[in-house]
Structure 1
Amino acid sequence: MTAFSTLNVLPAAQLNNLNELGYLEMTPVQAAALPVILAGNDVRVQAKTGSGKTATFGLGLLHRIDVSLFQTQALVLCPTRELADQVAGELRRLARFLPNTKILTLCGGQPFSVQRDSLQHAPHIIVATPGRLLDHLQKGTVSLDALHILVMDEADRMLDMGFSDAIDEVIRFAPAARQTLLFSATWPEAIAAISSRVQQQPMCIEIDTVDALPAIEQQFFETSTHEKFRCCKRCLANISQPPVWCFAIPKKIVRPFVMRLMRQGKAHWRSTAIWNNATATRRWYVFRIAARAFWLPPTLLREG
């Protein structure tokens, strides 16, 4: 393992902040990518969630921020609002050593007018989903003229969600002379293609690309819509050890499914529901009864 203290280009205040946050030893992706990023080079990194990639690009972009310059200097593109919120939160922790750093999220599902008002004074760092950011760029409420560094986080998911055209449009607003960091859990041809369009001689870093498959039995049941609940109930009846996760989309079916399960399921089935924008009170309630619950979060919950 390599210590963060070996990164001599980082100021002492930043190293002290990392130490306070518990960042002592670098993960493999951080050890491989950070020296390249801090040197100002483009990288494309294949690494799974939990590898430390947020701190990797976070330290890189904070290294290039001039807080005395009230312009947007760094941009992080994320596939979902949930991920954008997580990334922004971690960047704020990493930026504690750098007073008055303004970090703003721009995502769909939030009032455009509120975001526009927040942009009266340009943030140093924007964390955004491609669609909403493009809206602001086209309306002139965001300028990327002073952008130094562009990060694409979970690029494969952004392409899966159909953001390819929006990403291309966003990049047209960015200066050609910039540093571009691309992070992806997988490396399909579409990712390689977008890398070739937006990056300059990137260093390719692959971490944990081959994982041993867990010993999990997988089964698939094909059923009609009206038989779906009965099929699910039969599957649950064969499970003796809770808790059980059931994923469903869209989220509007989750609560009715839980109520039906409690009415028609076995007497000992205690069930509850959670979804991506549930209140904090609701989330805490769910986790308090987790030990014996059947949980039914929608697929979108995977971001949180």
Structure 2
Amino acid sequence: MQGLAAEVAEREAQVTDALREHVPTALGERLSNGRTAAATPASTAEELTTAEGELTAYRDALDEAIGLVPDIERAQRVLPDEAPELVPRDDLRPWLNFYPRDVLGEDLASLARAFESSVRAVGEEPSIERLNEFDWRARFRAFGAPFSVLAQLGFDSNRGPAEIRMTVATSVAPGTPHLRLRPETLVHGIAKPLGIVREVEIGDEHFDSLFLIETDPEAAQRLLTKPVRRALLEVAHYDVPTLLVGYGVAEINFRFEPTERSLRGATIALAEIRAAEIRLALLR
């Protein structure tokens, strides 16, 4: 039992929590159950016999997990060839019936022209489609990456002007760290000193003042490189965007009529993030 426990301890010292999270579900359950069993004391002969079987099974599960590391690392670094499918929201026009039809026609025509011209200026052989009266979508490649772009015209009030919502998205490797970037607000500025809002700062005073960065410090430095920050600031010239990275997708959202400058900035930032190095700490 002492020898078996030593073998288990040796393997446990190699396995990280990240590896436990990436193994298949059934193996993860075996690892969890084995860890619990390994910590359960045994004193009688019957308990020792049971413990020996459980420790042996746990050791074998650890060996299986360690053996999967090369396959897991390869899978976590795979870059999908296609951009994600962007689905229009259907809750952006509650005040449509109150909006003047002549003004609406001008807004739609303006958005159609701006969307097509900016997409054609940035994308390689873009595919552009009008989904309905208010929504447009395009697919193309730029800067070595696949992109989906969605433009939607919405009305959040019965008095204000129509609002354009832009989403630009690409696919990223599954192992890309999760990141959330959103506009820094006055409320955030008040809440941060109180510890209510926690964020990461990257040492770029202008960038840090515009954005609330939510991820771990190492991931922030790796994803928000100087080219990415510069490109995001190009988008922020019109509207401070949000950036979401995780679960194989990276997307930027902003509210402004698309221009070549804003779309180019968004695609450059996302292409750089897509190309970021994947670092996995599966073994110690």
* Structures share fold, TM-score greater than 0.5: no
Greater strand share, structure number: 2
Name which one, 1 or 2, has greater alpha-carbon Rg: 2
Q: TM-score range by the shorter chain?
A: under 0.3
Pick 1 or 2: higher relative contact order, CA cutoff 8 A, min separation 6: 2
TM (norm. structure 1) is: 0.23
